[in-house]
Structure 1
Amino acid sequence: MTRLEHAFEENVAGPVPWDRLFHAGIGRLTGGLSPTALQLAFFDWTAHLALNPGRQLALVEKGMRKAMRLAAYSGHCLAGDAGGRCIEPLANDDRFEDPAWQQWPFSLLHQGFLLQQQWWHVATTGVPGVDPHHEEVVNFSVRQMLDIASPSNFLPTNPEVLHRTAEDGGWNLLRGASNWLEDAQQTLAGGDEHPTGAFRVGEDLATTPGRVIHRNALMELIQYEPATGAVHPEPVLIVPAWIMKYYILDLRPRRSLVEYLVNQGHTVFMVSWKNPDARDREMGMADYRRLGVEAALRAVNAVCPGQRVHGVGYCLGGTLLTLAAAAMGRDRDERLASLSLLATQTDFTEPGELELFIDESQVSFLEDVMWARGYLGRDEMAGAFHLLRSQDLIWSRHIRHYLMGEREAMFDLMAWNADATRLPYRMHSDYLRDLFLHNDLVEGRYDIDGRPVSVGDIDVPIFSLATRRDHIAPWRSVYKIVRLARTDVTFALSAGGHNAGVVSEPGHPRREYQLAHFSPDDPTCPAERFEREVVAEPGSWWPAWQQWLADLSGEPVDPPAMGAPGAGYAPFADAPGEYVLMR
């Protein structure tokens, strides 16, 4: 092969570096979203709509009916007898709930907007031949564009803002401009030096006493001090997600799952992940399993020799722990006593709204963005999550901060949410391709140490928690563990969302959960039947889960020592350690 032929072969066999740099530059402008994926979706929709003239005529007819309906409503409004709305907002849309929106001309403005929104929903769904994924992308994109033009977002067309401006003599707008300048300055500076505001990690947040007993290139392991004279012999190892700081599970006194477990007589260990940078770009899922779960288990076994471990995983940490537990079951490794998965997906065929951002075009584009920087930045992750809940996280914030001139007081969960992390290039690529895109774990193609694993390899009891309003790990997707596992599964469905449904301490108002136990021999119970037939219990799910752990534990024993100096796990720093403080 000549040098020219070799160069040509290299260029066509894989991504060309300058192409990847070009994609990364575009990604900085699009927040990591692939313009090609968007073009493909809209081309699919427009091409199929163009080939369905009957559907086009139906849409024209529907548009004319809506225009006549709005005109009739306008006439009634001018006559002073509107008699309510001609169209109601969606159940989760509270933008126009204030009575001021029923007054002319704001009643006409918001009703026209809602009618237009409904028409576009009909236009972008149900077109024969359109790929379902492309249909979802088009519908979502059009909804985002319409939300930009909502009359609630602008001073002249929002009666609530106009009323506040009249009351405050315009000072709300001055405060809003000041808020905007402050936010713009922080964005240009790369974020706030103290994203948690007045809250300080280790002082206000993550305050349960403990010691760091191990540190490696990816994580620190914290052992928490006992709070009772005797403890359950089996320790609890918590593996949180690394798209978030671990202390969501050790938020504040009386709001801390760690504190609750320690007070119930459990010896608790927590993995605190490093916030990676470009130097960690080649850390993959295998590294997180090896340096995370495996390294933590060795340390826990050294501190509590001869005891099996209750493994607990949250979100992505639960997916990683599932992979490790499946490999351990396959290899007859009996170090686990149980597996608890909190808001964790194992089957990614229905991953919820995040599926909008997962296809071959989008993943390839995002890989190039991450390749250039070495990691997925906090801005890309935050942008995707904000788009999924744009009314709550973008536009309502815009109105409150910049038009009303208000700033909401920081609270613990909000402070934690602002303390974002990064994701290494290799790991996130592995995760998106192997799990989200190809669903290799469920399909039996996920290899660990050269051999495939599956959920069915897990041979310890499983406790799986889902939350009802979870848009990251939808509860019906999480529920699939009941069908996939070949061991006893206890499934709980809690009120709340992905975070608030997990941080659901006893005494929290308006909390309830449904709980059922399943064995491998039980007939299949569809998710709809579970939701309909299982009686809801008032209160937090924490006590029920803790009782489940206690039932799988032995008689109480004296607490173990802090660390195991003789085995190389001597305590060397106070919790929360250093990694959680990395920006």
Structure 2
Amino acid sequence: MDLIPKPDQVVSAAGNLAHTVFYGGLADLRPMPRTLIDDDNLREVYHYRPAATAREHGDPVLLVTPLAAPALCYDLRRGCSLVEHLVTSGRPTYLVEYGQVSFRDRNLGMEHWIEEVVPAAIRAASAHAGGRPVHVVGWSLGGLFSLLTAAADPDLPIASLAVLGSPVDVSLVPLVAPLRPLLSLAGDRGGVVTRAYRLLGGAPTPLVRWAFQLSSFHKHITKPIAKATHYDDADYLAQLEAVDRFTAAMTAYPGRTFGQLYHRFVKGNALVGGRFEVGDREVSLSDVRVPVLVFAGANDTIAPVGAVKALVPLLSGSPDVRFEIVPGGHLGMLTGRAARTSTWPALDAWIGEWSAPLDPDPGAADAASDRSTIGTSKRRRHRSGASRALAR
């Protein structure tokens, strides 16, 4: 709104206020309809039901959620939902989420997700889609899970990977960099943090929520002013409501997993060299054999551009690695209002390029048997030829 609001701005602001009072908000928070197709310990795989206006076609997409963050990251609100975008375009869309983490899960480490949860979800999505290879999309820690899963098991039916806001060099993260020398000096013996997460069984939900809010502290402080100056913009206000709901829905980290993240990533910066211990073996990112699209948010303080771009040279075994800087912060780059015209079109083009050819007759009786062979040949899977690694 202008400093001295125009008449039409006053009318819009009054209408937004009335809608909020009488209907509880402006955002359309209806979730996209979905069906559970596979589940196990801290693993739920969902298939989003096809839109009435678009028949499902092509290779499936699997959305991999990070720990602690709800699946709302992919389905924030109608109009700003990556799920809605994929489903309405006819893409078979799947999601893996982990349910509520409790104290009994405190002994689960990252290997549980890298060796069990994500691989099982990829296989389930592929099988449900008729055996087609899967385009795996992971945001934040979900992106790191996806990369390490692909590196650990090259036989998985993966067509491509897209990782968004996944920091590899944490020394470049503004919130972490000043603390790392102090954490190193304290050592494990002084382990106040270690004792705390072991006692609590992990990082509790309020702490996770507070850490996310701290990452955008300036926005949190200036939010009342921003809201007041945009009260005539229904779409802006709806986005604020949806982000608030997302933040409120965050969950806990299991104790052992939080310990690995703290000691290996925050203190040890373990992935900057491209290798990571998973269970009793070492996994190298150079063993990723599928195309990878890497996104960084221009205003991301949790995973700044440099911390994400450090991933690109580590993917030496991939036939095609590309790096894109898109508008937005950590969540905004994925499902913010600007993502609709930046991140999503780039993701669509990437998936289209690395998808197997469509069946000429999807209703034919032999379609399913034909799909079962798709993705088993690297020539068919990576049909576009030479790598066009982006050097920025």
TM-score range, shorter chain: 0.7 to 0.9
CA contact (8 A) 1:231 1:559 kept: no
Greater percentage in helix: 1
Q: What amino acid does structure 2 have at the position aligned with 1:259?
A: E
Q: CA deviation at 1:199?
A: 7.3
What residue in structure 1 maps to residue 267 of structure 2? 437
Q: CA deviation at 1:398?
A: 9.1
Q: CA deviation at 1:207?
A: 1.8
CA contact (8 A) 1:442 1:454 kept: no
What residue in structure 2 maps to residue 462 of structure 1? 292
Q: 1:550 aligns with which of 314, 330, 352?
A: 352
Q: CA deviation at 1:211?
A: 0.2
Q: CA 1:281–1:307 in 2, change beyond 3 Å: closer, same or farther?
A: same
Q: What amino acid does structure 1 have at the position aligned with 2:167?
A: Q
What residue in structure 2 maps to residue 565 of structure 1? none
CA contact (8 A) 1:219 1:291 kept: no
What residue in structure 1 maps to residue 45 of structure 2? 221
Q: CA 1:345–1:400 in 2, change beyond 3 Å: closer, same or farther?
A: closer
What residue in structure 1 maps to residue 34 of structure 2? 210
| Cα deviations by residue, 1:348-398 (Å, 9 ceiling, x for unpaired) | 34233233444243873222111111121122233334445444425x469
Q: 1:231 aligns with which of 35, 41, 57?
A: 57
Q: CA deviation at 1:485?
A: 1.4
CA contact (8 A) 2:170 2:265 kept: yes
Whole-angstrom CA distance in 2 between matches of 1:549 and 1:450: 34
Residue 490, structure 1, aligned to residue 315, structure 2: no
Q: CA deviation at 1:445?
A: 4.7
CA contact (8 A) 1:210 1:222 kept: yes
| Cα deviations by residue, 1:436-464 (Å, 9 ceiling, x for unpaired) | 32233343552335332222111111111
What residue in structure 1 maps to residue 76 of structure 2? 251
Q: What secondary structure is seen at the aligned counterpart in 2 of 1:270?
A: strand
Q: What amino acid does structure 2 have at the position aligned with 1:493?
A: I
Q: CA deviation at 1:328?
A: 2.0
What residue in structure 1 maps to residue 243 of structure 2? 413
Q: What secondary structure is seen at the aligned counterpart in 1 of 2:172?
A: coil
Q: What amino acid does structure 1 have at the position aligned with 2:354?
A: L
Q: What secondary structure is seen at the aligned counterpart in 1 of 2:29?
A: coil
CA contact (8 A) 1:441 1:454 kept: no
What residue in structure 1 maps to residue 368 of structure 2? none
What residue in structure 2 maps to residue 539 of structure 1? 341
Q: What amino acid does structure 2 have at the position aligned with 1:497?
A: G
Q: CA 1:225–1:462 in 2, change beyond 3 Å: closer, same or farther?
A: same
Q: CA 1:362–1:269 in 2, change beyond 3 Å: closer, same or farther?
A: farther
Q: CA 1:390–1:343 in 2, change beyond 3 Å: closer, same or farther?
A: closer
Q: What amino acid does structure 2 have at the position aligned with 1:267?
A: P
CA contact (8 A) 1:204 1:252 kept: yes
Q: CA 1:501–1:400 in 2, change beyond 3 Å: closer, same or farther?
A: closer
| Cα deviations by residue, 1:270-320 (Å, 9 ceiling, x for unpaired) | 012212121111111011223420221231232134321111111011111
Q: In percent, how many aligned pairs have the same letter?
A: 30
CA contact (8 A) 1:267 1:559 kept: no
CA contact (8 A) 1:207 1:252 kept: yes
CA contact (8 A) 1:214 1:222 kept: yes
What residue in structure 2 maps to residue 103 of structure 1? none
Q: CA deviation at 1:244?
A: 1.0
Q: What secondary structure is seen at the aligned counterpart in 1 of 2:351?
A: helix
Q: 2:162 aligns with which of 340, 362, 366?
A: 340
Residue 240, structure 1, aligned to residue 65, structure 2: yes
CA contact (8 A) 1:199 1:415 kept: no
Q: CA 1:397–1:215 in 2, change beyond 3 Å: closer, same or farther?
A: same
Q: What amino acid does structure 2 have at the position aligned with 1:371?
A: R
Whole-angstrom CA distance in 1 between matches of 2:30 and 2:94: 13
Q: What secondary structure is seen at the aligned counterpart in 1 of 2:69?
A: coil
Whole-angstrom CA distance in 2 between matches of 1:206 and 1:428: 32
| Cα deviations by residue, 1:104-148 (Å, 9 ceiling, x for unpaired) | xxxxxxxxxxxxxxxxxxxxxxxxxxxxxxxxxxxxxxxxxxxxx
User: Between Structure 1 and Structure 2, how many residues are aligned?
Assistant: 322
Residue 481, structure 1, aligned to residue 311, structure 2: yes
Q: Please show how residues 93-242 of structure 1 align to structure 2 within 5 Å.
A: 198=24, 204-205=28-29, 207-227=31-51, 228-232=54-58, 234-242=59-67
Whole-angstrom CA distance in 2 between matches of 1:215 and 1:503: 26
Bigger relative CO (Cα 8 Å, ≥ 6 apart) = 2
Q: What secondary structure is seen at the aligned counterpart in 2 of 1:254?
A: coil
Q: Please show how residues 274-313 of structure 1 align to structure 2 within 5 Å.
A: 274-313=99-138
CA RMSD of aligned residues (A): 3.1
Whole-angstrom CA distance in 2 between matches of 1:324 and 1:336: 10
Q: 1:351 aligns with which of 145, 163, 173?
A: 173
Whole-angstrom CA distance in 2 between matches of 1:236 and 1:362: 42
CA contact (8 A) 2:119 2:156 kept: no
| Cα deviations by residue, 1:3-25 (Å, 9 ceiling, x for unpaired) | xxxxxxxxxxxxxxxxxxxxxxx
Q: What secondary structure is seen at the aligned counterpart in 1 of 2:170?
A: coil
| Cα deviations by residue, 1:91-115 (Å, 9 ceiling, x for unpaired) | xxxxxxx9xxxxxxxxxxxxxxxxx
Q: CA 1:357–1:221 in 2, change beyond 3 Å: closer, same or farther?
A: farther
CA contact (8 A) 1:377 1:421 kept: yes
Q: Please show how residues 366-377 of structure 1 align to structure 2 within 5 Å.
A: 366-377=193-204
Whole-angstrom CA distance in 2 between matches of 1:340 and 1:231: 20
Q: CA deviation at 1:435?
A: 2.7
Whole-angstrom CA distance in 2 between matches of 1:291 and 1:559: 34
Q: What amino acid does structure 1 have at the position aligned with 2:257?
A: M
CA contact (8 A) 2:209 2:247 kept: no
Whole-angstrom CA distance in 1 between matches of 2:77 and 2:224: 29
CA contact (8 A) 2:298 2:305 kept: yes
CA contact (8 A) 2:122 2:158 kept: no
What residue in structure 2 maps to residue 426 of structure 1? 256
Q: Please show how residues 29-108 of structure 1 align to structure 2 within 5 Å.
A: none
Q: Which runs of 5+ in 1 are unaligned?
A: 1-97, 99-196, 402-407, 513-537, 561-583
Q: What amino acid does structure 2 have at the position aligned with 1:541?
A: T
Q: CA 1:390–1:229 in 2, change beyond 3 Å: closer, same or farther?
A: closer
TM-score under structure 1 normalisation?
A: 0.51
Q: CA deviation at 1:476?
A: 1.4
Q: CA 1:229–1:473 in 2, change beyond 3 Å: closer, same or farther?
A: same
TM-score under structure 2 normalisation?
A: 0.74
Q: CA 1:460–1:501 in 2, change beyond 3 Å: closer, same or farther?
A: same
